[in-house]
Amino acid sequence: MAETITQPIASSPMKRVLAIRDFLLLWIGQSTSLLGDQFHFIALSWLVLKMTGDPLALGTVLALGGIPRAIFTLVGGAITDRISPRRVMLAADFIRLFISALLAAQVLTGTLQVWMIYVYSIVVGVVSGVFAPASMSITPRLVPSEDLQAGNSLMQGSLQLISFVGPAAAGAMIAVFPDVKVGVALAMAFDAFTFIVSVVTLWMMKVGGEVIAAQKTGSVSMFGSIRDGIVFMFRDPALRAMFILIAVANFAFGGPVIVGVPYLANTRFVEGAAAFGLIMSGYAGGNFLGILLSGALPKLSQKLMKVFMVVMFAAFGVGLGALAWINITGTAVVDMFIMGMLNGYLSILLITGLQRNTPKEMLGRLMSMVLLANLGLAPLSQAIAGAMLRWDIPVLFLVAGGMLLACAVYLTMPGVGSLLSVRFLGEPSQSAEVGENHV
């Protein structure tokens, strides 16, 4: 039997979702783990650049992690719908805990070599790919539909707040030690500790109905289950348009930011690792403010929402293109903050609209398709960005900005922006209410 979600009496949706024990445990554990992820990213990126001095090497490391992560999101979505999000997340966190601890030990003892980082990146990419759709589909199984936006706001708000604090803290930790490997090793060790917290909180969750998903999909093969998710996505015009938009936008934005920003910090900004952390924190801080605004401001009409999406992508294009010449850390922080604020505002509406309009038994697979659009082209984007940085820095950011301006034009095409705005702002469909709230 699935566990019945009791709706606590509280004055606000935020208080109601925090009164749900399993959601509170999830929020604490995942927020802690996300802080560790920020330390891991900053430390690994800085370590690779210091070991090799080559932006292409950093792009390769990120690509080797990104390719299996993108591929295995589809597998992760199918496994999630068969088993349960919680069990998938537990298994993935155990593996990542071991790898983070091993990395910390090898960095500190000086036994880590670049080829080992390549191997670790592939393994972590596979595990993260399986983990991601589970983490995106667990909240609507714990939280009632009417409070889902509040639950998503808490989860995503915590992510962005941590992304704001984490990079700056990690950059400061690394910069404070004359020996880079000491700071990097401590950052990796901290990441391992946060996985322990995540494992404990997931283990403590009292959930039922974990076999219901398997009963619904057990007669379908793994590949058949993945195929059903793909068909579900592409038969819906709004979801199909969203998939295309997310894929192109993330290809344009991901590589130049993930590879380009640390390279700019290492070669252009005098603050070095601290500049890297501050710039990434600026983007996260903007996201956090945007998420708060999405909950505080009245919902836009469908017409205004379409206009907002066009303006947002145009602003992204201009903002990313401006990094071609910005050479002051503070200016770069403000630039990334503005882009983050626009992105954060839209992200909660997108996530909540998708979750509300998806049958519970299909959530893992739909989230895996969204993640595929988000991550599928990221390795190629990162590799191309690394190569282009060797050739011409301004051209990389100008081309990427132009692609985001093209996304804004795409949204003005008949039907595209309107379809997406209806999905973001519409009431939950009847199909979304099918199925039990279970993990």
Over the stretch 147-191, which tens digit does the pLDDT of each residue have?
777 788 888 778 777 877 787 788 888 878 777 788 888 889 999
Secondary structure (3-state) at 373? helix
pLDDT bucket at 419, cuts 50 / 70 / 90: low
pLDDT at 218 over 60: no
The conformation of residue 178, written as its DSSP 8-state character, comes to: S
CA gyration radius, the chain: 21
Domain residue spans of the chain = 13-206+221-433
Over the stretch 34-78, which tens digit does the pLDDT of each residue have?
899 889 888 888 888 888 877 778 878 877 887 888 788 888 888
Enumerate residues 6+ apart whose C-beta is below 8 A from 240.
Answer: 233, 234
Average of per-residue pLDDT across 185-201: 92
pLDDT at 431 over 70: no
Tell which wins on pLDDT, 310 or 274: 310
Report the pLDDT value the prediction gives residue 102, as an integer from 0 to 100: 93
Q: Which CATH code fits 13-206+221-433?
A: 1.20.1250.20
Tell which wins on pLDDT, 430 or 370: 370
Average pLDDT taken over every residue of the chain? 79
Residue 249 near residue 316 (C-beta atoms within 8 A) = yes
User: What backbone phi and psi angles, to 5 degrees, belong to 245?
Assistant: -65, -45
Give buried/exposed letters for 401-434 (b at 16+ CB in 10 A, else e). Answer: bebbbebbebbeeeebbbbbbebbeeebeeebee
Average of per-residue pLDDT across 388-408: 87
- Give me the helices (H) in 110-179, please: 114-137, 139-142, 148-176
CA atoms within 13 A on the CB side of 128: 22
pLDDT bucket at 417, cuts 50 / 70 / 90: low
CA distance 181 to 100: 15
Rounded to 10 deg, the angle between the 237-258 and 393-411 helix axes is 160
Report the pLDDT value the prediction gives residue 314, as an integer from 0 to 100: 92
Report the pLDDT value the prediction gives residue 97, as an integer from 0 to 100: 93
Which two structure tokens, joined as six digits, stand for 281? 């924190």
Closest CA to 278 of 171, 183, 157, 158: 171
Give the distance from CA 349 to its chain's centroid.
15
Strand ranges inside 198-293, DSSP E: none
pLDDT bucket at 318, cuts 50 / 70 / 90: very high
Closest CA to 349 of 310, 306, 304, 294: 294
Write the DSSP assignment of 11-41 as a string of letters. SSHHHHHHTSHHHHHHHHHHHHHHHHHHHHH
Q: How many CB atoms lie within 10 A of CB 327?
A: 11
Tell which wins on pLDDT, 47 or 197: 197
pLDDT bucket at 207, cuts 50 / 70 / 90: low
pTM above 0.85, yes or no: no
Average of per-residue pLDDT across 425-432: 43
pLDDT at 209 over 60: no
